[in-house]
Amino acid sequence: MSIEIDILNGDAAWPMAQPLLSAVWGRDAAQKPSWSHVKWAHADLRVLLETPEDGLVCHVGIYFRTVTWNGQKVHIGGIGGVCTREDRRGRGYATIAIDAAVHTMRANEAVRFALLFCEPHNYAFYAARSWLPFKGEVYCEQPEGWIRFDAMAPYVFNIVRAPTLGTIDLCGLPW
């Protein structure tokens, strides 16, 4: 099995990623989940995992942001838009793509920890990959103003060291 992994500029790679994201979330989004109203940030980079037979099978968006944790500025990495084509799941693709995203964050010496937001059905998936629940509060910007973000649960990952308590202000849109 050969797999090609590209990490591309987020905006430039959007036309490639968009059909997969729509296929995975189009149907769920129609069921109006708790996050359907959220305005999301655009990914800075995108991990695209392709196979010769199937083309694009998995996507992970990468975000870089200077946030505050308990009022102190800290540079972090984020992942979002993690998805694998429905008929190609369980082959390790998302694990590989998330690893590539974390590797990319580690290459940026300023990044202290990684952060993602997920729904309850994915808690076990991330916990099994060493992500820890962040038990503090998260705030972010939305068109209506500065809000507490509780549409999804935050999970953190140690790059240098990740906090699991306290208050994070994303200082921008969530991902």
Ligand X SMILES: CC(C)(COP(=O)(O)OP(=O)(O)OC[C@H]1O[C@@H](n2cnc3c(N)ncnc32)[C@H](O)[C@@H]1OP(=O)(O)O)[C@@H](O)C(=O)NCCC(=O)NCCS
Residues interacting with ligand X, by CB under 6 A?
Answer: 24, 58, 82-84, 89-95, 118, 121-122, 124-125
Residue 62 bridge partners (DSSP): 45, 79
Identify which of residues 60 and 67 has a Cβ nearer to ligand X in the complex.
60
Identify which of residues 16 and 68 has a Cβ nearer to ligand X in the complex.
16
Closest approach, Cβ 68 to ligand X, in A, equals: 23
Closest approach, Cβ 74 to ligand X, in A, equals: 22
End-to-end alpha-carbon separation of the chain, Å? Answer: 32
In whole angstroms, give the CA distance from residue 142 to residue 148.
Answer: 10
Q: 32-58 burial, b for 16+ CB within 10 Å, e for fewer?
A: eeebeebeebebbbbbbbbbeeeebbb
Closest approach, Cβ 109 to ligand X, in A, equals: 26
Identify which of residues 1 and 124 has a Cβ nearer to ligand X in the complex.
124
Closest approach, Cβ 60 to ligand X, in A, equals: 9
Our CA dihedral for 1, 54, 11, 142, rounded to 10 degrees, sits at -100
